[in-house]
Structure 1
Amino acid sequence: MGIFRRVLARADLVLLNQRGHLFPWAPVFLAIGIGWYFSLRMEPVLAVYGCVALIGLTAVAAAIRWPSGLSAIGWALALVAFGFCLAGNRAHQVGGPVLGWRYYGPIEGRVVGLDRSASDAVRVTLDRVRLERVGPDRRPDRVRISLHGPAADIRPGQRIMTTGHLSPPQGPVEPGGFDFRRHAWFQGLGAVGYTRTPVLLAAPAIEGRAGVKVLAIRMAASNRVRELLPGDVGGFAAAVTTGDRSGVGQDALDALRASNLAHLLAISGLHMGLLAGFVFAALRVGLSLVPAFALRFPVKKVAALGALGAAAGYLALSGGNVATERAFIMVAVVLIAVLVDRRAFSLRAVAMAALIVLVLRPEALLGPGFQMSFAATTALVAFFGWLRDADLPRAPNFVKPVLGVVLSSAIAGLATAPVGAAHFNTMSHYGLIANLLSVPLMGILVIPAAVLALLLAPFGLEMVGLYPMGMGLRWILGVAHFVTDLDGAQGYVPGPGHWVLPMLSLGCLWVMLWQGRARLAGLAPVVLAFLLWAQTERPAVLVADTGGLVGVMTAEGRALSKARGAGFIAGNWLENDGDGSDQPTAAGRWPGAEDKVRTFSAGPIEIVHVIGKTGAARMDSCAAGQIVVASVPLRLKGPCEVYDSKRLLDTGSLAISGGMIVTAQERSGRRIWNTPPGHKAVRLAQRQ
C-alpha cells in the first residue's frame, strides 16, 4: 500500500510540473476516443454509449472534486469518452439510405457537385434523387455518377436526368484496406455509378439557394481563369483559387505527386495562411500609413479582422470542402489569438484548431489531409518554439529568410513523409528540393497575384493579376517535371500495419508536447513503429470482392490474373505492395494469362480464377486444395473452396496467407455504414 501511495505521489508531482503545458494533449485524447469508436467491429448499442458517458462524467466529477496533478488523468479519460460518443453521434447523424443492389434505369436529381473522376470523366453529384420504382425510404439522399456519354453543358442547380448504372459504395479492395463505404457514408453518398447515355435538362437552375449559388460562382470563376490561362497552368490556377482541379492534366498531376508538390493543388493551410498573411500585412502597412486612422484604432487588430474576412471569403469561393474548412479553422484560431492579445503561433493554438476540427468532423481523423496538415503544423510550431528558447548563435539577418524557408520545408517534409508514405505508398526522394524551389514562389508571387486578380475582376482587369500568377505556376510545373525526370525520383513502400501509424504519431507527439528530458522516451515507440513497418508482410493471395481479379505474390512481385479490368483494385493492390509496376506488367507474371481458366500455385494451395461465363462453362468439378474464384455463380462438384460472385457479395474481398483466409467483412465488422437496415449477419466460417 505504501508503494502504491508513493507511485501516486510521484505521478501527481510529475503532472503538476507539466501544468501550463497540458492543453495541447486535449485533442490527442479526444482523437483516441474517436479512433476507439472507428476501430470497433460491431456497432455499439445505446447501453455502451451510456456506460462510456457515465465513465466520462465520473472522471470529470473526480477531477473537479480532487484538483491536483492527477486530475489531468480524469480530464483525459473524459476526453476519450467524449470522443467515442462524439464519433458515434456523428455517424448516426449523417446517415442516410444506401442502395442495397445494382440498379439500372432512369436517374434524376439536382446538380450539387461537379468534378472529375480518376479516368478524367466529368462527375456530378446529385441530391433530391428520383429512381424508377424505388421508394423514398430506400432512395439515396445523394448519388454520384461519372458521365461517359456525349458532352453536356451541366451547371450547378440544374435538375438533370439520364439512364445509368448505380451500385452501393464499394467495400475495401482488400481486408483491412481503405473503406470507401465509410468515406461515402460521411459524405452522404448512398450510391455511385456511371452513364453512357446523353444527359437531359429536366429543370433549370433555381436561384436563391445559397449552396448552389456559391457552387455556380465557383464554376464560373474557374471557367474564366481557364479561359484566360489555358492548359495545365490555367487548371493549376483554377485549383489554387476555386478548388476545381478538373483542368489539370494527368501528366501534370503525376509530376506534382512524384515531386511531392501535389499539396500545392489543394487549398490547404499553406494557401489559406499565405492569403491571410498577405492581406494582414497589406492592411497593417497600408493603415499604418494613414496617421488619422493609426492613431485612433488598433491597426493590428483591424488587419486581423480584415484577414479573417478574406480567409472566410476564400473558404466560400473554394467550395468549403473538409480540407479547406480545416485550413480556415487553423488560420481563424491564429487571427483570433491576435485579436485577444495572445501568442498567435503556439501549440495551444494548434490544439484549439485540432479540437474544433475533430468536434465538427470526427471522421476527419482517419483522413491523410487532417493527419498531414496537423503533423506539419505541430512539428513546425514545436521546432521553432524550441529554436526560439534555445541558446543558439544568431544567424545574420540576410541569412534568416533563406534559413527559415529551408528549415520550414525540411521540418514539414520530415513530419508528413511517414504519413504520406503510409497512405499513398510513395516517397519523393527529391521532394525537399522541389519544395524549396516552389513554395517560396507561392508566397512571393502566386498568392499576391491571385488576390490582385480577385480585386480587379469586377473591372474586367483580372488578367493583370493572372499573368504573373501564371508565370509562377508555370515555374512550379517546370520544377515538378524536372524533379520527376531525375533518376530515382520516386520510391515505393508497402502499406504498414494498422498499429504502426498510431504508434508513430503518439511517439512523435510525446517528443513534441512533453516537457523535460522524459520527452526522449517518445523515441522508443517511434523506432518500434518503423521496425514493425519494415517487417510488414503482404498477403500471399488477394481476391477482389467482385471475383473479377486475383493477385498472387511472387518473387518478382504480385502476379495479377488479368491485364485489363478492375484497374482501380489492381492499382491499389500494387501500391499497397510498394510495387511501382502497372497492371499489364503485373499480369505478365501470371502464367497462361490468355486462358479463361487461370491457375497459379501458391504454396500448398492452388488458385483457380474462372473468367466470365465462358470460363464457368468449362468448369464442372474441382479438387481438394483448390480455391476457385469466379465473377459469376458456379456449381462445382468436388471438395474445393468456391468463392463465386454470390458468396463474395457476403464476404467482400479476401486475403490468404499461411493457409488462413481473412475476409473484408471479418476485418470491417458490422458497422452502420456497411450493414443495410434489416440485413441479417452472415456467419463466416473460420478456415485453417
Structure 2
Amino acid sequence: MDRLRGLVLMPFAALAGARGYLFVWVPVMMGIGIGVWFGLPQEPGLISYGVAVGLIAVGWGVHRWGPDATQPIVVAMICVISGGIVAGVRAHLVDAPVLGFRYYGAVEGRVVLIDRSQSDHIRLTLDQVVLERTSPRRTPLRARISLHGAQEFLALEPGQTIIATAHLSGPDGPVEPGAFDFRRMAFFDQLGAVGYTRVPVLLLAPPAPGAQWINRVRAQLRTGVERAVLGDPGAFAAALVTGDRAGISRAAQDDLRGANLSHLLAISGLHMALLTGFVFATLRYGLALVPPLALRVSSKKVAAGVALVAGAIYLALSGGNVATERAFVMVAVMLGAVLFDRRALSMRSVALAACVLLTLQPETLMEPGFQMSFAATVALIAGYAAMRDRGTLARGKVPFWLMPLVTVVFTSLLAGLATAPIAAAHFNRVAGYGLVANVLAVPVMGFAVMPAAVLAGVLAPFGLEGPALLVMGKGTAWILAVAQMVAGWDGAVRAVPTPSGVVLPVMVLGALWVVLWRGPARFAGMVPMIVAFGLWGQVTRPPLLISADGALIGLAGPEGRVLSTPKGAGFTARQWLENDGEMGDQEGAAARAGFRGDAKMRQFDFGGWRMVQIKGKAADGLVSEACKSADLVISAVRITDNRPTGCQLFDTSKLRETGTLALWPQPDGSLRVEPTKVQNRLWTRTARAAQFTLTLP
C-alpha cells in the first residue's frame, strides 16, 4: 500500500522539486489551451466562457488554500483555460464583416500595403473600402486585390485612394480536409475580401497630409535603396529595411527558398537581433572608450535603452507585420532584462516573450513563423547552455581564429535541426544543403549587411549613406549568389507529404519536454517525438479529392496524383501536389493516365465506382446523359433542372455546404466522404458538415 501511494505521489513530488523552474512551462500550457480552442468544432458561447472563468476561480482558491503539492497542477490548469479564454476574446475583438458573395464592380479604398502575390503580381491591400450596391454593414474593413494586365498608368504609393473594377469574394477555406486555413488567418487580419482586377487602377485622391505617413516613408526608403543598388540585390536590401518584398523577382525568392535562406528575407528575430545587437555593442564599447562617461553612467544600460529605441524604429519602418512584432517583443524582453540587471538570454526571458505574444495575438500560435522562431531560440539557448556546462566552447579549447566559424556552424546546425521538421510540415520541403547555405550567408548578413543598414540609416540625413548602401548591396548580392548556387545542386530540395494534424503538436511537446525538463526524466520526451515521426512516415493521403467548386478532381495513381485538367484552379492543384510530397506541376499531373473523355465530360473509375465530371455552360443538360453511365456525377455548375435519380450527384450547391471533399473506398464497396467544412466558427460563418458514407445506387 505504501509503495502504491509512493508511486501516486511521485509526480507531485517531482513537480514540487522543480518549482523554481516551472515558469518556462506557462506559455506551453497557454499554447495547449489556445490550440484546443482553435480545434473546437463549434464556437463556444457565453455559458462555456462562464464555466471557464468559474474553473479559474476554483483553481485560484485551491492554489491559495489547498495543499502545496497540488499547486503546480492547478496553475497548469489555469494557464490552459486562460489560453482558451484569451483566444476567444481576441477572436471577438477582431470580428469584422466578410464578403459573403461573389462581387464584380467598382472597388474604392485607401492603399495601406503594396506587396507581391505568389503568382508574381503586384497586390494592394485597401482599407476604408467602398463597394457599390453594398451597405457599409456588409462591407469588409479590408480588401486585397491583385493587379493583372497593364498597370503602368499609376505610380502606386501608400495613402492613395484608388478605384478599380474588380472581382472579389470572401477568403477561401482549406483546399482539403486538415490543410492550412487561409480564411482563418484572413479573419484575424480583418481581411474580408480578396480578388483581382484586369483593368487599370485609377487614382481618386492623393495621400492626405499625415495619412499613412509611416508607410509613405517606407515607400520612399524602398525607392531610394533600389535606386542606389540595382536589381535583386537592391530589392533584397530594400526588403531588409522596409519589409517590402514587392521588387524581388520570383526566381530569386525560389532560390532563397530552395537554399533554406528565405528566413533572411522575412524581417524576424534574426534581423531584429542583429540590428539591436550591433547598436548595443557599438554603444557599449564606444562609451567604454570615454573614461569620464564610463565612470559615471552604466554603459550597458544606456546601450540597452538606445538599442530598444532602435528596435522600435525598425519595427515601425518594417511595416509592423506579425513576425517583426514577435521579434521586437522578444528583443524588448531581453533588453529589459539588461536594464533590470537580469540575464538577457535565458529560458525565462523567452517564456515571458511567448506569454506576451500569446496574450496579445494568440492566433500566431498556429502560424509557422511563431513556431519556427521560438523553436530556433529555445534550441540555441539550450544548446549553448549545454556546451557551456560541458566547457566545450571554453577559452583555449577552440582556437581564437576558429571561434567565429565554429559559432556560425553550431548556430546554423541547432537552428536548422529545430526548425526543419516544422518547415517541412508546413511547406512540404526539406532543403538538403541548408546548413551549407546558412554557413556561407549568415555571417555576411551579421557582419556586413545589417551593420551597413544601421550606418546607412544614421548617415542618410546628411546625404552620406552611399558607401554604406554599397556595402549592403555587395552583401545581399553575395547572399543571392549563394542561394542560386546551392538551390541548383542536385537534391537541394526534397518534397515530403503533409503529416496528420496530431504529428506536429506531439513532436513539439516531446521536444519541449526534452529541452525544458531537468534530470534524467527529460529523455522521456524522446518517446512522443519518435511516435510523431513514425506517424508521419505512415501518413496516407486521400485517394480522391474533389475541389470546393467541382472544377478540379485529383485521383491517386501509380505515378502520383492525376489531375482532371491541366489549367485552372492552379492554387488548389499546386497545394494538392505539394501535400502529396510531389514537386511536379499541374500540367504534368494532368498528363498521367486516369481520366477519359473530353474537358466537358471527364470519366474515371474509383473504388469500384464509375464517376463522371461535367463542366461548362452545357453541364445542366449533360447530367442525365452522365448519370446513365456513372454512379457518381460531379458538376462544376449548379444543377437546377433534370436532377437525376439513378446516380449520386455533387454539384456546386452541394459542394458549397461541404467544401473540398476527400473520398476513401471502404471494404464493403461504399465510400467514406470527409468534408472540409467541419467547423462552425467565427471565421467560417457556415454550418459545419459531418462526415458521411456513399453507397452504390
- TM bin (shorter chain): over 0.9
The residue correspondences of 1:56-71 to structure 2 (distance < 5 A) are 56-66=56-66, 68-71=68-71
The answer as to whether partners of 2:677 and 2:688 remain within 8 angstroms in 1 is no
1:662 is matched with which residue? 674
Please tell me the residue identity of whatever aligns with 1:673. W
Instruction: Tell me if 1:610 matches 2:614.
Output: yes
The residue correspondences of 1:458-477 to structure 2 (distance < 5 A) are 458-477=461-480
2:208 is matched with which residue? 206
1:330 is matched with which residue? 330
The answer as to whether partners of 1:561 and 1:593 remain within 8 angstroms in 2 is no
2:192 is matched with which residue? 190
Q: Which runs of 5+ in 1 are unaligned?
A: none
Change (3 A) 1:452 1:386: same
Instruction: Tell me if 1:642 matches 2:649.
Output: yes
* CA displacement, residues 576-624 of structure 1 (integer Å, 9 cap, x when unaligned): 0000110100010144475321112122223322122245544424158
Change (3 A) 1:344 1:559: same
Identity of aligned residues (%): 50
Please tell me the residue identity of whatever aligns with 2:600. K
Q: Give me the whole-angstrom Cα distance separating, in 2, the residues matched to 1:381 and 1:627.
A: 56
* CA displacement, residues 600-653 of structure 1 (integer Å, 9 cap, x when unaligned): 212222332212224554442415863222221234424322111221111111
The answer as to whether partners of 1:493 and 1:577 remain within 8 angstroms in 2 is yes
Q: Give me the whole-angstrom Cα distance separating, in 2, the residues matched to 1:75 and 1:201.
A: 56
The answer as to whether partners of 2:114 and 2:124 remain within 8 angstroms in 1 is yes
Q: Match for 1:595 among 592, 599, 608?
A: 599
Instruction: Tell me if 1:544 matches 2:547.
Output: yes
Q: Give me the whole-angstrom Cα distance separating, in 2, the residues matched to 1:252 and 1:168.
A: 31
The answer as to whether partners of 1:111 and 1:124 remain within 8 angstroms in 2 is yes
1:455 is matched with which residue? 458
Structure 1 position 495, deviation (Å): 0.2
1:387 is matched with which residue? 387
My pick for the range that moved more, 231-240 or 572-581, is: 231-240
* CA displacement, residues 323-369 of structure 1 (integer Å, 9 cap, x when unaligned): 00001111111111111111111110110111111111000000000
2:668 is matched with which residue? none
1:245 is matched with which residue? 245
How large is the RMSD of aligned CA atoms in angstroms?
1.7
Q: Give me the whole-angstrom Cα distance separating, in 2, the residues matched to 1:76 and 1:147.
A: 49
Structure 2 residue matching 1:448: 3-state secondary structure: helix
The residue correspondences of 1:10-21 to structure 2 (distance < 5 A) are 10-21=10-21
The answer as to whether partners of 1:540 and 1:657 remain within 8 angstroms in 2 is yes
The residue correspondences of 1:273-352 to structure 2 (distance < 5 A) are 273-352=273-352
Q: Match for 2:631 among 612, 626, 633?
A: 626
Q: Give me the whole-angstrom Cα distance separating, in 1, the residues matched to 2:632 and 2:277.
A: 60
My pick for the range that moved more, 464-473 or 412-421, is: 464-473
Structure 1 position 686, deviation (Å): 4.7
2:156 is matched with which residue? 154
The answer as to whether partners of 1:610 and 1:630 remain within 8 angstroms in 2 is yes
The answer as to whether partners of 1:651 and 1:684 remain within 8 angstroms in 2 is no
Structure 1 position 40, deviation (Å): 0.5
The residue correspondences of 1:438-449 to structure 2 (distance < 5 A) are 438-449=441-452
Q: Give me the whole-angstrom Cα distance separating, in 1, the residues matched to 2:272 and 2:570.
A: 35
2:404 is matched with which residue? 401
Change (3 A) 1:31 1:460: same
Instruction: Tell me if 1:673 matches 2:683.
Output: yes
Structure 2 residue matching 1:137: 3-state secondary structure: helix
Q: Give me the whole-angstrom Cα distance separating, in 1, the residues matched to 2:318 and 2:341.
A: 30
The answer as to whether partners of 2:34 and 2:362 remain within 8 angstroms in 1 is yes
1:535 is matched with which residue? 538
Structure 1 position 118, deviation (Å): 1.2
1:106 is matched with which residue? 106
* CA displacement, residues 231-287 of structure 1 (integer Å, 9 cap, x when unaligned): 111111111111011111111111110110000000010010000110001001111
Q: Give me the whole-angstrom Cα distance separating, in 1, the residues matched to 2:117 and 2:538.
A: 35
The answer as to whether partners of 1:624 and 1:639 remain within 8 angstroms in 2 is no
The residue correspondences of 1:355-434 to structure 2 (distance < 5 A) are 355-390=355-390, 392=392, 394=394, 395-398=397-400, 399-434=402-437
Please tell me the residue identity of whatever aligns with 2:631. Q
The answer as to whether partners of 2:597 and 2:603 remain within 8 angstroms in 1 is no
The answer as to whether partners of 1:112 and 1:156 remain within 8 angstroms in 2 is yes
Q: Give me the whole-angstrom Cα distance separating, in 1, the residues matched to 2:191 and 2:393.
A: 56
* CA displacement, residues 369-426 of structure 1 (integer Å, 9 cap, x when unaligned): 0000000100111111122122558422423222111111001000000000000000
Q: Give me the whole-angstrom Cα distance separating, in 2, the residues matched to 1:340 and 1:242.
A: 31
The residue correspondences of 1:232-271 to structure 2 (distance < 5 A) are 232-271=232-271
* CA displacement, residues 75-95 of structure 1 (integer Å, 9 cap, x when unaligned): 000000100010011111101
Structure 1 residue matching 2:617: 3-state secondary structure: helix
Structure 1 position 116, deviation (Å): 1.2
Q: Give me the whole-angstrom Cα distance separating, in 2, the residues matched to 1:276 and 1:627.
A: 61
Q: Give me the whole-angstrom Cα distance separating, in 1, the residues matched to 2:629 and 2:521.
A: 58
Structure 1 residue matching 2:677: 3-state secondary structure: helix
The answer as to whether partners of 2:565 and 2:599 remain within 8 angstroms in 1 is no
Structure 1 position 67, deviation (Å): 5.6
Q: Match for 2:180 among 173, 178, 181?
A: 178
Change (3 A) 1:103 1:7: same
Change (3 A) 1:652 1:294: same
Please tell me the residue identity of whatever aligns with 2:649. V
Q: Give me the whole-angstrom Cα distance separating, in 1, the residues matched to 2:459 and 2:218.
A: 17
My pick for the range that moved more, 149-158 or 174-183, is: 149-158
Change (3 A) 1:681 1:475: closer
Change (3 A) 1:616 1:301: same
1:556 is matched with which residue? 559
Change (3 A) 1:685 1:297: same
The answer as to whether partners of 2:619 and 2:637 remain within 8 angstroms in 1 is no
Please tell me the residue identity of whatever aligns with 2:611. I
Structure 1 position 473, deviation (Å): 0.9
The residue correspondences of 1:505-584 to structure 2 (distance < 5 A) are 505-584=508-587
Structure 1 residue matching 2:168: 3-state secondary structure: strand
The answer as to whether partners of 2:610 and 2:629 remain within 8 angstroms in 1 is no
Q: Give me the whole-angstrom Cα distance separating, in 2, the residues matched to 1:402 and 1:620.
A: 71
The answer as to whether partners of 1:103 and 1:166 remain within 8 angstroms in 2 is yes
TM-score between both structures, scaled by the size of structure 1: 0.96
Q: Give me the whole-angstrom Cα distance separating, in 1, the residues matched to 2:274 and 2:60.
A: 40
Structure 1 position 685, deviation (Å): 5.1
Structure 1 residue matching 2:137: 3-state secondary structure: coil
The answer as to whether partners of 1:167 and 1:192 remain within 8 angstroms in 2 is yes
Please tell me the residue identity of whatever aligns with 1:603. G
